Amino acid sequence: MRIVFMGTPAFAVTSLDALIKSGCDIVGVITAPDKPAGRGQKISQSAVKEYAIENDLKVLQPEKLKDQAFLDELKALEADLFVVVAFRMLPDIVWTMPIRGTVNLHASLLPQYRGAAPINWVLINGEKESGVTTFFLKHDIDTGNLLFTEKITLTGEETAGELHDRLMNKGAGLLVKTVKGIESGRYSEYPQSQLVENEELKHAPKIFKENCLIDWNQPTDKVYNLIRGLSPIPTAYTLLNGKILKVYKVEKQETKPDIQPGHFVTDNKTYLSFATADGLLNLVDVQLEGKKRMGIEEFLRGVKL
């Protein structure tokens, strides 16, 4: 099969690499346009583009997916199948183009956690398992017929960054299995509507800054899950002396606090602990506004509370 791959971040690179190494014929790669990034606002390429150039793959970077010049160029690739991993929403005119359809890899166990941030929300909600799913695209986002699924058990301690890497590797293998299945005709489709009837759906919408503010009035487990579910990006935060303090890692303390939620105790040397509704959380890895990220002992050497 002639395959066009669509993706942008590092998560997608692992899948593209796995497809190439499995012998798939990648006739084109669609990724986000270059854009300024960092302090110097230097023009930055997507991780997928960098990989594609290194491997001599044809790259298209449309500003608008309905642009006629792009559609003509895409059609000229004569792809049998489109494969999408961590890309933007496709218009109907694009995903209906290939004869074998368009397959998407999603970092959750669909139909649960449809949306832009499944890895974060699975941890924020304290789930016991997660996984990856492949499905055929249809008009409504993340609702197409399911193809293959693979589950993983969660430890209850991993961060979003750690789960990202686990699912990135697991998803690459599942995507190869999916493409090979479509190529050989050995696959089945399962409408998500059959599963939705028996489950209460949880969603994974895009995360905004207001989602990241820590509410210390919540129980310890809920605050703990929020922090690890947002670490390292976009990062949970609290306010300390009027400044934003990003919190990347905490540890639970069994001691029952004798201070109000949101208040803290510290020896100004080795520990800084915030009270929750029913316990204490020891801050381990933090970053104060205007400073670098650091461990708590280094942080306390530079600030007195």
- Provide the pLDDT confidence category of residue 109 given band limits of 50, 70 and 90: very high
CA distance 142 to 145: 9
Predicted confidence (pLDDT) per residue in 46-98, tens digit: 999 999 999 999 999 999 999 999 999 999 999 999 999 999 999 999 999 99
Residue 81: burial class (beta carbons within 10 Å; 0-12, 13-18, 19+): buried
Distances (CA, A) of 302 to 217, 268, 270, 272, 288: 28, 10, 12, 13, 10
Predicted confidence (pLDDT) per residue in 240-258, tens digit: 989 999 999 999 998 888 8
Global pTM reads: 0.94
- Provide the pLDDT confidence category of residue 5 given band limits of 50, 70 and 90: very high
Distances (CA, A) of 133 to 84, 143, 171, 236, 251: 12, 11, 8, 28, 32
Task: Report the chain's mean pLDDT, rounded to a whole number.
Answer: 95
The yes-or-no verdict on residue 37 having pLDDT over 80 is no
φ and ψ at 120, to 5 degrees? -65, -50
CA distance 219 to 143: 34
Identify the DSSP state of 297.
Answer: H
